[in-house]
Amino acid sequence: MAALQTAAALGFTRIDLQSARAQEAPAADNAPAMVVGSGYGGAVAALRLGQAGIRTLVLEMGRLWNTPGKDGKVFCSTAAPDERSMWFRTRTEAPLATFLWLDVVNKDITRYPGPLDRVRFDHMSVYVGRGVGGGSLVNGGMAVTPPRAYFTEQFPTVDADEMYGTYFPRARSMLGVNTIDPSWFESTPWYRFTRISRKHAANAGLRTTFVPSVYDFEHMRREAAGTAPKSALAGEVIYGNNHGKRSLDKTYLAAALGTGNVTVHTLERATAVSRAPDGTYVVTAERIDPSGAVVERKEYACTHLFLAGGSLGTTELLLRARESGALPDLDASVGAGWGPNGNVMLGRANHLWDTVGEDQSTMPVMGIDDWANTANPVFAEIAPLPTGLEHWVSLYLAITRNRERASFSCADGSLKLGWSASQSSVSAGMAKKLFDRINAANATIYRYDLFGSGNRVFADDFTYHPLGGCVLGKATDGYGRVKGYRRMYVTDGSLVPGSIGVNPFVTITALAERTMARVLVEDTAP
């Protein structure tokens, strides 16, 4: 409680965002504004608060990835994972588990706060990034703006003109989005795998489209030319990129720290949120050491609280607060409206003459766009499988329009997700319809050896794109203000109602920009 008393003594209990600018430097454990999580939603909030002159504390449960290990590199590669790969595991848990049914992909590792986590629920695993930058550390960098018609369907109350005119462009510019030079794409061996998949899609009458990226394609060209250190061309992606990628620590978060008003506490996990009688939010946190041991329990007080722990992290904090009675007025819809963005991974086996190449960039640059097919809308990213050997596999991550939704609960203390295998099979069914067409047109078959021992073709039991849990306009108002509680906000992927039809981080970033623009102007009344 000492922290709270300090906050009250410093007058932090009833300040607003305007008056927060005028506060004197307080004790370390307090800040006018706090942000939980440093992924897309958290990074936007931190930057915009910092620019507004508001002292802001960011709590991030993962570490800061800026120190080289013994090999001189910050991150390890996908092919040679070590303790820097996964979040407190003794063996890696890569999405593509086997090759020719052999357990050759995953490796034993030492427990350590690595940047990739796989959170397992019944029938659904959720991959998330952990560390300063959240998912931006481990993701494929695909920076896709959703089709306007689908965005409008998912967010009927959001002004699409404003989103497409202001916030999407702002997000893309801040994230450093760029596009591959088409002539380089056509000639480089590093994207032969993509060109083969494009040809097979075209043979089935399907359209492909280039997708932008936050990976610096000029750097990639220098990698190919041998004049820059290799990262995307050296198999680096899901455990982090040592070069080339404009992850949030190099964009939004660097700018946030540059304001001089933002502090990031790493290896600190918020475990509970409550509210003091004077309206101050109290965030309870645990600080861990690199072995995972809790070395300190802390309590922070703040006036404005921005929740950005991602779909899982934010939903869990709010659900716990509602169930424990700490924040009883939270909306009944907190925990609901979750979906995996219809994700399904699958592989196809090509003919011997359709080689995909031993050189493969880890950054996807093209998708098969059949979203406009109202009978079976699918957008399938053409994914790399960089093994350094020719394997004739075409890999895909399909985003299907699966309308199934699930709810979280944490009645017995642990977070549970009510997602069923039959809900996943909706996504698999849609992916199958599309890829059956491609196989028929090319006389090819699926690969049965990539996802474990059971001859599985469609990996529909994991997602890279967890969305929902605190849906915009349901658990929050139309701008991410949490219903039932003033000065508490959600700015991350939990606002998106389970599906957005494309890879989601541009949408999450743009929505967070929209929230911050509104909140910093309007939420000034005491």
**Interacting residues toward ligand FAE by CB under 6 A:** 36-41, 59-62, 127-131, 134-135, 138-142, 238, 269-270, 308-311, 313, 317, 464-465, 492-493, 503-505, 508
- Give the number of other CB atoms < 10 A from CB of residue 32: 27
CB of 184 to ligand FAE, least distance (A): 20
Per 3-state DSSP, what percentage of the chain is helix, strand, and coil (rounded to 5)? 30, 20, 50
Nearer to ligand FAE, 87 or 419 (CB): 87
Considering the complex, state which of residue 232 and residue 238 has its C-beta at the smaller distance from ligand FAE.
238
For the bound state, the minimum distance from the C-beta of residue 18 to ligand FAE, rounded and expressed in Å, comes to 26
| Cβ 312 to ligand FAE shortest distance, Å | 7
Smallest distance from the beta carbon of 464 to ligand FAE, in angstroms? Answer: 4
Start-to-end CA distance of the chain, whole Å, equals 23
381 is catalytic: yes
Would you say 15 or 471 has its CB closer to ligand FAE?
Answer: 471
Compute the least distance from the CB of residue 357 to ligand FAE, in Å: 21
Interstrand relation of 30-36 and 124-129 (parallel, antiparallel or unpaired): unpaired
Residue 163 DSSP class: I
Residue 445's H or E segment, with its range, is: strand 445-446
Using alpha carbons, list the distances in angstroms from residue 14 to 186, 261, 307, 486: 60, 20, 19, 11
Beta-ladder partners of 393: 349
Nearer to ligand FAE, 204 or 415 (CB): 415
SS (H, E, C) 292-353: CCEEEEEEEEEEEEEECCHHHHHHHHHHHHHHHCCCCCCCCCCCCCEECCCEEEEEEECCCC
Toward ligand FAE, which CB reaches closer, 64 or 202? 64
CB nearer to ligand FAE: give 15 or 500.
500
**Active-site option among 93, 223, 268, 381:** 381
3-state SS, 218-271, equals HHHHHHHHCCCCCCHHHCCCCCCCCCCECCHHHCHHHHHHHCCCEEEECCEEEE
**CA 256, 60, 27: angle at the middle one, nearest 5?**
75
Min separation Cβ 118 and ligand FAE, Å: 9
Shortest separation between residue 196's beta carbon and ligand FAE, angstroms: 20
CB 501 within 8 A of CB 348: no
User: Which of residues 460 and 492 has its CB atom nearest to ligand FAE in the complex?
Assistant: 492
Phi, psi for residue 441 in degrees, rounded to 5: -70, -25
Rounded (5°) CA angle 122-126-128: 155
Residues sharing a CB contact under 8 Å with residue 149, sequence separation 6 or more, in sequence order: none
Residue 79 identity: A
Catalytic residues: 381, 465
